[in-house]
Amino acid sequence: MEYIFTLKYRLHDHDGDKESLIDRLFDAGCDDALPGIGQSGRLALEFAREADSATVALESAIADVRKAVDNAELVEVLPDYAGLTDIAEHVGMSRQNLRKIVTKNGSTFPAAIHEGNPSLWHLSDALSWLAESGYVVDAATLEISAAARELNTAIQARRLSAERSRKLDALMA
């Protein structure tokens, strides 16, 4: 199956040679990625990778990037965080129609991870709910968004000290 996803990195001590970076990425196995290197010290790679599972696709892509740029820090994996417009596009409906569905099913539709303007959801939560409610959802997108969510959660968790993590776990238990 083909999985489409984006890996966003912070580059530490990058010399600024963009051509060399692209060549190293290609040689390391990222020939199925479109690189974005416009922002200094940042790298985004949009992959269209074939693999047996979303997890395998993501893990192999991350390993390939690591071979090319060993000091790159993974900061975000997409698709994960999504507003109503993004979610609606994934199921082929208008934002307004999805807004009606969310409003009508507020008690069962997944809770937003950020309520504001715009509100944001984990894409996998919203797509799972829509699929369970009879809407057509692309299986590869659902799978890759769930795997992206896991990685983003791990990225955020690494930013906590072990002591703070234990205290927060106890608080929420």
pLDDT tens per residue across span 79-122: 999 999 999 999 999 999 999 999 999 899 999 999 999 999 99
Q: What is the pLDDT of residue 15?
A: 63
Point out which residues pair with 114 in neighbouring strands.
Answer: 120
Phi, psi of 124 (to 5 degrees): -65, -35
Domain residue ranges of the chain, discontinuous segments joined by +: 2-78
CATH code of 2-78, in short, is: 3.30.70.3400
DSSP 108-154: TSPPPSB-SSS-BEEHHHHHHHHHHTT----HHHHHHHHHHHHHHHH
Prediction pTM value: 0.89
